[in-house]
Chain A
């Protein structure tokens, strides 16, 4: 699986959009980009995933660059409950490939 690079920490003001970047410059053509988050003392929670088109759901939007070497997770209106560690993972679907977690980005939403 391709490796990802994320900033170790970010701050965001409450009510503003939180934009979390992820670099995956060695991603393969059959690998999806997944985002998970882990709120303190809980198991990780699925947020969103995509291959090459931008994706949106009730939690967030995922923007993938045309060359697929990087992506951005957007939380449109961050709340205090969005304070968590956010993990970007790339893996191929429909294979035995596992989910390997990197170090993630610790997002703090500030009142």
Chain B
């Protein structure tokens, strides 16, 4: 299994500011992903974090709003830019291991005022 550390665990931010969420995996994984979970909803895939290249975004998500970096196999960041109250959600980092299982961090609870 993979252990995923995500920080911050929660934050309260002002409208118009940006927040960068960090994700560290304890072992090399094949792929890393970022999900969003809005209140009372299921998980929605934002993007696949590609090592050393631009992330692959799902429909409805764009790089300008959610820039993602993955400088190496075990670390990734997601930035939520120019935040509005509609961005208040839980943001989850995940990683797929060689055994084809997906593991998750504990999430970042973001509230935008």
Binds B, one of A14-22, A65-73, A74-82, A95-103: A95-103
Chain B residues contacting A98 (CB-CB under 8 Å) are 33, 45, 48
Interface of B, secondary structure class, is: strand
Report Cα–Cα, A77/B59, bound state, in Å: 40
Interface of A, secondary structure class, is: loop
Chain B: interface residue total (CB-CB under 8 A) = 21
Report Cα–Cα, A96/B44, bound state, in Å: 17
In the complex with contacts A43-B92, A98-B33, A98-B48, A87-B42 CB distance below 8 A:
yes
Do B42 and A101 touch across chains, with their CB atoms under 8 A apart? yes
Is B38's beta carbon under 8 Å from chain A?
no
- A104 touches which of B42, B101, B103, B109 (Cβ 8 Å): B42
Do A42 and B103 touch across chains, with their CB atoms under 8 A apart? no
Chain A residues contacting B100 (CB-CB under 8 Å) are 32, 49, 93-94
Residues on A lying within 8 angstroms of B by beta carbon are 32, 34, 36, 41-46, 49, 85, 87, 93-94, 96, 98-104
